[in-house]
Structures are given as structure tokens and as C-alpha cells.
Copies of this chain bind each other. A is one copy, B any other.
Amino acid sequence: MQPSVLLLIDVQQGLDDPYWGKRNNPQAEQQMARLLAAWREKQWPVVHVKHHSTNPKSPLRPEQPGCQIKPEVQPLPGELLFTKTVNSAFIGTDLENYLRENDFSKLVVVGLTTDHCVSTSVRIAGNLGFDVQLVADATATFERTGVDGQSITAEEMHQIHLASLHQEFCTVVTTEELLTTLSLLNK
């Protein structure tokens, strides 16, 4: 059976900066780490994606310490890492070529943030024909202000974006569901 590629998007220290506002799913990094450990154990393909912001105010500018990947999911030597400057992990990177050349058609996506880089990458992956699972509790986002001035909590933002993505661009799953499937595969 062909393995799924675990794609970790923008799990960077600078996303802990108060600049971004309040977040949901504080346990998301722990769930990502559980999945990453399972993938490494199986020697399945792992791809890290890191954002190099071009916005002068962003904590994710390449020269900022916040650009570093969080310790929970630090890449190991030999694991693939793509850097990007826009939301989509497929624009300005070699990700699509890498997947096609290796005949990888299935992706499991985790990372930050649900409605910006994760959503954009999942949409493009789905539209390019990849079979995508998005892990609800291994992603998270921030509160935002609506164009009509209303406050939107991070959790509302997260849930509504999952609803738009599910069964249109991907299948939304949980870490537990995925790990259960993997443990059945081991038997």
C-alpha cells in the first residue's frame, strides 16, 4: 500500500507571538508530534514546510528567531523541508514535482493556520488531484475581525473553515482516527 505523505505546514515559533491574537487548539502541536512520531516509526515520507514572510512586521521573517520550526516537530537530518513566501505550499516550491516524481498521491496535512496557509494548501492539493486528509485537532488558527467589524473567535474560524473544506477539498479527520487506522495496519 502506498504511504501518505505527512505535510507539516508553518509550525514555527513566531506563531506564538501575541501579534497574532488568541488561538484555538492549544494541544495541536502535541497531536502533530504524535503523528510525526508514528510516521517516522513507519519510515513513511515526511515533508516540512516553512514560511519566510516578506511582510516587514511579521515574526516569520527569515531573519527573525520566530522563523524557526517549533521543537515539537523539529525536522530530523534527511527530512525534506520546503520554504515558501506565500500561503500555498505549492506556489514557488518544488512540492508538486516531488509528490509526482515519487508517485505520492495521498497527503495528511497538519499545521498552522487553518484558514490561511493550511486551507490554501489543502485547496490546491485537492484541486491538483491529491487525496488529502486534514487533521482537525492538529491544526489551529487565530481570532480575526470581520469586514463588518464583528469579532470572530479562533474556534468559530476553525470550525467554519473545516466545514468548507470537508468533502469538497479533503476529508477532515482526527489524530486519534488516523493513529487507530495506523495501528490496525500494523497488525
Contacts and interface: CB of A to CB of B under 8 A. Distances in A.
A161 B146 CA distance: 9
Interface stretch (A16-24, A43-51, A97-105, A121-129): A121-129
A146 B127 contact: no
How many chain copies?
A: 2
Nearest to A150: B159
Interface stretch (A1-9, A28-36, A60-68, A166-174): A166-174
B127 A86 contact: yes
B159 A172 contact: no
A49 to B, nearest CB: 14
Interface string A148-164: 10101000110111111
Contacts of A116: 164, 168
Contact of A169 (B87, B146, B169): B87
A91 B50 CA distance: 24
